[in-house]
Structure 1
Amino acid sequence: MRWLTESYKWVERRVQLEAPVKDAMLHPVPKNTASWWYVFGSAAMTLLMLQVATGILLALIYVPSAGDAWNTLQLLNHEIPLGWFIRAMHGWGSNFMVAVVLIHMMQVFMFGAYKFPRELTWVVGVLLLLMTLGMAFTGQVLRFDQDAYWGLGIGASISSRVPIVGGPLVNLLLGGPIIGGATLTRFFALHVFVIPGALLAFVGLHVWMVLKLGVNEWPMPGRPVNRKTYDAEYHKLTHDDGIPFVPGALWKDLVFSAGIIVAVAVCAAIFGPYGPTGQPDPTIIQTAPKPDFFFLWIYAVLSYLPPSLETPFLLIAPVIGIGFLLVLPFWAGEGEKSWHRRPVAVIVLVTVAVLWGVFTHLATFTPWSPKMDAWSGSTVPAKIVHNLSPVERQGAVIFQSKQCRNCHSIGGVGGERGPALDNVASRMTEDQLIRQVIQGGGNMPAYGKNLAPSEVTALVRFLGTLHPAGQPAASDASRTAAAQFGAPSQTQSSSPTTSPQKTQ
């Protein structure tokens, strides 16, 4: 083995990692922190490594394009050996990682580990939680099945409600005004490069601070944190009652992490991968898209909230929640750590956990909101098409055949996912209707690729008849003004009898 020893010395002389590695492995930790309560952080890092490894294998096959994404997942599921198992490990690993990170954050909160001098460690942990949720959401989008398509539409609708930056934010995420090939490219870059890169960087910073500041001691009643004396007290504790991290505390981390990996593998083997379900098709709206379990509570809350409170909740609640987590260590950085003397913290944690569990359970059977109670078999009321022209009647047929009434009501009959269309012609001009049909917007998908130009024209002509009797349809004010002042239209300017001099 002499050659191996010489090789090690040759490498060590140049990289000089032995000293910092020994410091990390042998740094003393309080003896009572070698507990099963302190294993969730290392388990989360193990699951991150699993996600990186399985993600690399999947990226070798996955094609982030609207036409090929669904097909490549089918290829992995049914043709490539163990492709389904790799997908299942990646999907279940994501679920386990979110759960473990959440449990770790709750444990840190209960043990007061966010207090001095670990304020920044807590802040980085909050950012890691948000990035973990971001990884989960972008991964769900990459399945690009029917649920992912509509779920992304809901996410885009939520983003569009952000004041000032809502529109640009949607364009940035979707790569344009509609969900298409550019959308998958953006989310693939976020899921594979941007978020994982930031996640690994923050994990490195988080581990570095844990090593330098030490593992939080077991919270004992009557041992409050005092900024002036804490460092001396902690060093005395680790000196008098400390053990090396390796092997004193590491073995429990290894056992628990191995158990988590086995649990992920068992779930992957028994339950298999997530989807994909049907191919994404905006014309098929008989779907009730539900997110993965970590976002189910939002689904249930939005289902039970009145429509008028949805936007305030979406814009205000996340800001308050994240702001509270970020400010917490600076607002309550001293005092008792033990939960026995922090009843408010216990009540807050229990309340949040119970609400999360209740809403998550409700979301498993909560109906899709808004309700869809129409069906394409129910004909458009005869009184609406009574005096229409042939083109407008053709538009009513297209409106019926494309199942528009499943989302929109006319005459009080129809779906409630989108707004009622009885007065749509008085709210939107012809150009706006064309743009809405082709490009979509809000919760409405784009139908530009599913309708021929003649069908779009007929559909818009029909929609243009939907306004109250005696009230004119909406018109473009700029065109009206141009006509009043004699400005040439495109048709007029092409006529040989009209000249700029005559118009002026």
Structure 2
Amino acid sequence: MSIIKSIIGWIDNRMQLSDSVVSVARHPIPAEVAQKKGWWYVFGSVTMTFFMLQVVTGICLAMVYEPTADAAYSSLQTLNYQTPFGWLIRAIHYYAATGMVVMIVVHMTQVFLMGAYKYPREVTWFFGVGLLGLTLALAFSGQVLRFDSSSYWGVGVLASAAGRAPAVGPEVVHTVLGGQYIGESTVGRFFAVHVFILPALLVTLLAGHLYMVIKRGISEPPKPEQPVDPATYDEQYEELLKKGVPFFPHAIYRDGIACAIAVIVVVALAVIFGPKGPDAFPDPTIIGADPRPDWYFLPMFALAALCPPSLEFAFIIVAPVIAIGVLLAVPFLSGSGERSASRRPVAVMFVTVTYIVFAVLGWYGATSPWSPQMDAWSGDPVPVEMVKHSSPLELQGAVTFQLQACRNCHALDGVGGKRGPDLTYVGSRKNRPELIRQVVQGGGYMPAYGQQLSAAEIDALVAFLAARRPAGEPEAKLPVAPPIKGDSIKGRAP
């Protein structure tokens, strides 16, 4: 023990660590933070713990993972099934990443509702917003490194949206993908971003965030009718700290307990559920893949799927930038005044509506059939009742309908794909010219088949579709153009 003490004393004498460490550990905090209300202040420490878990497990994974398009998928399989405890390390890495996303969102919500972003902690909030953006970027780039079917097409959607950027779109795509297409350089670039660039930026912002927490102090629990006044707040806070307690040991033990529980939960999830993926091999020829991102990106996935192609760039690229800008503007819009949530109904309503919208979009993104059902045609033949009394032309149309895999996207009598509308009674909704135009030109999410079908096949297919209506019901009528304003049919010249 004497030797160890001598070594520690020598290091401390040379580096003068004790002065800095002790002063930081024992910096004063409001006394209420060391009481029961202090449990609301542990989310930041838990988030940092999850990040440290990712750093440790990420270093272990990097020793086996090969960041190339040819070997990335197989190296993950090696980690899952051959490397000792590789599956556990991957699972811990994934669930720690998930926990970090959850905790930083919870932490930002807590800070917002408690008004802790107000004077004099605006810069602390700015660092937090940056950490939120970097955390989401880390989560997305980590998903790409799985390089399975979902991540492959996820990168494709991102590149497609970025490519629509005015003027710089092609250059952005080339930079992200390392070329015009997802290829050998794509995985390596995302690996460099995920392992080097984003962690370095995150550590930098984290250091700045902690520095501001120490310099400007931890905000006291808010109370109604105690608004923040920049002219008097500093003096009031100094008086509050005179009755405060040191962070160590009065408050740090709550952070320690919360972090220990978080680590136990992550390890338990890793042991019970195992690693995430990889899923199906990334095959670009499978155009019917049903890629879904990790659950915390499902709301954005649903928005991208619902918006028209012309707005993809705005939703996928511009919208997150605007959202970050709005968060950065919060201290300028409400930098003083009441901090208590009971006195800020607009803030509470904003948080509530945001969570409800994200929950609905997340559910929609997880359950909606965004892509065709690729095995529908093989297992679901055209119902016999639909062709029992059909003409030869309509029968040929039924064959065309089946061979062209229309059942992948469209159901008949409720059986088949759900990407497009059920066509059981399409003849009641569309007449023949409308059906021809839809098949030839496409529209909405339907591709155009004018170059893939012959005139005879189109004629037969439309005959089959036009006959899809209840027995005895006439074919849908041609729409009649309204008369020109100021004129009438009787008064027109022949």
TM-aligned CA distance change 1:14 to 1:417, over 3 Å: farther
Residue 161 of structure 1: how far off its partner (Å): 2.4
Contact 2:33 2:220 in 1 (8 A): yes
Residue 160 of structure 1: how far off its partner (Å): 1.7
- Please, which runs of 5 or more residues in structure 1 have no aligned partner? 379-399, 426-462, 466-504
The answer to whether residue 415 in structure 2 is matched with residue 412 in structure 1 is no
Residue 317 of structure 1: how far off its partner (Å): 3.0
Q: What SS does the corresponding residue of 1:222 show, helix, strand or coil?
A: coil
Q: Which residue of structure 1 aligns with residue 164 of structure 2?
A: 161
The answer to whether residue 291 in structure 2 is matched with residue 289 in structure 1 is yes
Q: Which residue of structure 2 aligns with residue 360 of structure 1?
A: 362
Cα distance in 1 for residues equivalent to 2:197 and 2:404: 38
Q: Deviations over 1:31-77 (max 9, x none)?
A: 21231100000000000000000000000000001111111100010
Equivalent positions of 1:249-288 (< 5 A) are 249-288=251-290
Q: Which residue of structure 2 aligns with residue 15 of structure 1?
A: 15
Cα distance in 1 for residues equivalent to 2:234 and 2:62: 46
Q: Deviations over 1:118-150 (max 9, x none)?
A: 111101100100000000000000001111111
Q: Deviations over 1:427-486 (max 9, x none)?
A: xxxxxxxxxxxxxxxxxxxxxxxxxxxxxxxxxxxx9x9xxxxxxxxxxxxxxxxxxxxx
Contact 1:376 1:406 in 2 (8 A): no
Aligned AA for 2:69?
Answer: A
Q: Which residue of structure 1 aligns with residue 246 of structure 2?
A: 244
Cα distance in 1 for residues equivalent to 2:71 and 2:406: 27
Q: Which residue of structure 1 aligns with residue 326 of structure 2?
A: 324
Q: Which residue of structure 1 aligns with residue 145 of structure 2?
A: 142
Q: Which residue of structure 1 aligns with residue 206 of structure 2?
A: 203
Q: Deviations over 1:70-104 (max 9, x none)?
A: 11100010111111010000011111110000000
Cα distance in 2 for residues equivalent to 1:279 and 1:193: 26
Aligned AA for 1:11?
Answer: I
Single out whichever of 351-360 and 156-165 deviates more from structure 2: 156-165
Contact 1:110 1:345 in 2 (8 A): yes
Cα distance in 1 for residues equivalent to 2:215 and 2:33: 16
Q: Which residue of structure 1 aligns with residue 413 of structure 2?
A: none
Cα distance in 2 for residues equivalent to 1:257 and 1:118: 25
Q: Which residue of structure 2 aligns with residue 226 of structure 1?
A: 229
Cα distance in 1 for residues equivalent to 2:405 and 2:181: 20
Q: Deviations over 1:175-223 (max 9, x none)?
A: 0100011000100000000001111111111111101111111011111
Residue 349 of structure 1: how far off its partner (Å): 0.7
Cα distance in 2 for residues equivalent to 1:316 and 1:61: 36
TM-aligned CA distance change 1:88 to 1:60, over 3 Å: same
Aligned AA for 1:182?
Answer: S
Contact 1:369 1:417 in 2 (8 A): no
Single out whichever of 316-325 and 168-177 deviates more from structure 2: 316-325
Residue 165 of structure 1: how far off its partner (Å): 2.4
TM-aligned CA distance change 1:345 to 1:94, over 3 Å: same
Cα distance in 2 for residues equivalent to 1:125 and 1:115: 13
Aligned AA for 2:447?
Answer: A
Cα distance in 1 for residues equivalent to 2:196 and 2:300: 27
Contact 2:372 2:408 in 1 (8 A): no
Equivalent positions of 1:26-425 (< 5 A) are 26-34=26-34, 35-240=38-243, 242-307=244-309, 309-314=311-316, 316-368=318-370, 412=439, 420-422=447-449
- Please, which runs of 5 or more residues in structure 2 have no aligned partner? 381-401, 410-435, 456-494
Contact 2:440 2:450 in 1 (8 A): no
Contact 2:442 2:448 in 1 (8 A): no
Cα distance in 2 for residues equivalent to 1:254 and 1:208: 20
Residue 356 of structure 1: how far off its partner (Å): 1.1
Aligned AA for 2:44?
Answer: G
Cα distance in 2 for residues equivalent to 1:175 and 1:80: 30
Cα distance in 2 for residues equivalent to 1:292 and 1:304: 18
Aligned AA for 1:193?
Answer: F
Cα distance in 1 for residues equivalent to 2:182 and 2:290: 18
Cα distance in 1 for residues equivalent to 2:176 and 2:267: 33
Q: Deviations over 1:280-308 (max 9, x none)?
A: 11112332100001110112223344555
Contact 2:101 2:136 in 1 (8 A): yes
Cα distance in 2 for residues equivalent to 1:18 and 1:376: 73
Cα distance in 1 for residues equivalent to 2:312 and 2:437: 24
Cα distance in 2 for residues equivalent to 1:159 and 1:78: 36
Corresponding pairs, count: 405
Cα distance in 1 for residues equivalent to 2:18 and 2:52: 23
Contact 2:440 2:448 in 1 (8 A): no
TM-aligned CA distance change 1:301 to 1:221, over 3 Å: same
Q: What SS does the corresponding residue of 1:139 show, helix, strand or coil?
A: helix
Q: Deviations over 1:314-350 (max 9, x none)?
A: 4553233221101111221111111111111011011
Cα distance in 1 for residues equivalent to 2:353 and 2:301: 19
Cα distance in 2 for residues equivalent to 1:418 and 1:175: 29
Aligned AA for 1:211?
Answer: I
Q: What SS does the corresponding residue of 1:412 show, helix, strand or coil?
A: helix
Among the aligned pairs, what percent are the same residue?
46
TM-aligned CA distance change 1:315 to 1:69, over 3 Å: closer
TM-aligned CA distance change 1:370 to 1:78, over 3 Å: closer
Aligned AA for 1:69?
Answer: A
Residue 377 of structure 1: how far off its partner (Å): 11
Provide the TM-score with structure 1 as the length reference.
0.74
Residue 401 of structure 1: how far off its partner (Å): 12
Cα distance in 2 for residues equivalent to 1:197 and 1:410: 55
Cα distance in 2 for residues equivalent to 1:49 and 1:236: 36
Residue 3 of structure 1: how far off its partner (Å): 2.6
Cα distance in 2 for residues equivalent to 1:166 and 1:101: 31
Residue 404 of structure 1: how far off its partner (Å): 13
Residue 174 of structure 1: how far off its partner (Å): 0.4
TM-aligned CA distance change 1:229 to 1:331, over 3 Å: same
Residue 16 of structure 1: how far off its partner (Å): 1.1
Q: Which residue of structure 2 aligns with residue 471 of structure 1?
A: none
Contact 1:114 1:333 in 2 (8 A): yes
Provide the TM-score with structure 2 as the length reference.
0.76
